[in-house]
């Protein structure tokens, strides 16, 4: 499989049978995804969740595909660049309003589960 998952979600790291780039923060997930897109990887899933807000939900998993032809030809998908840059801006905006807090473990597990199920819903359709 040429798919990779960029994630900071420990549940995804231990549950997914795909190549995983594990990040320590949401920012790192976003910037690593952007860098992969610039390297010619194809953005498969949207970097924002459906309605669980970024930052408030500390986890995000994004699927990319390694396309050797694009990588060799250094083809850049401008639409994907626009999507990830807009998502990064939204994350920055939500950070401004967010006061860091330690979530109870059960809440963290729920957030991990939601991120995992949204990822899975994407993986099921590819």
Question: Closer CB to another protein, residue 24 or residue 125?
Answer: 125
Tell me the three state secondary structure of residue 65.
Answer: strand
Asked if 63 is part of the footprint of another protein (rule: CB under 8 A), the reply reads yes
The mark string for 16-45 relative to another protein (x by CB under 8 A, - otherwise) is ---------------------------xxx
Q: How far is the CB of 99 from another protein (least distance, A)?
A: 5
Beta-bridge partners for 4:
19, 64
Question: Closer CB to another protein, residue 69 or residue 106?
Answer: 106
Distance CA 69, CA 72 (A): 5
Asked if 80 is part of the footprint of another protein (rule: CB under 8 A), the reply reads yes
Distance CA 98, CA 3 (A): 32
Asked if 98 is part of the footprint of another protein (rule: CB under 8 A), the reply reads yes
Phi, psi of 40 (to 5 degrees): 105, 5
Tokens 């963290």 belong to residue:
108
């Amino acid at each position: 499989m040429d798919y990779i998952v960029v994630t900071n979600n420990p549940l995804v790291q231990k549950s997914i049978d795909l190549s995983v780039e594990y990040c320590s923060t949401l920012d790192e997930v976003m910037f690593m995804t952007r860098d992969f897109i610039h390297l010619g990887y194809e953005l498969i899933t949207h970097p924002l969740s459906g309605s669980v807000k970024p930052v408030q939900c500390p986890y995000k998993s994004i699927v990319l595909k390694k396309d050797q032809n694009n990588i060799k030809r250094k083809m850049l998908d401008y639409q994907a660049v626009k999507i990830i840059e807009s998502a990064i801006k939204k994350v920055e905006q939500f950070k401004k309003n967010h006061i860091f807090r330690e979530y109870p473990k059960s809440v963290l597990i729920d957030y991990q589960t939601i991120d995992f199920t949204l990822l899975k819903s994407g993986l099921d359709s590819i």
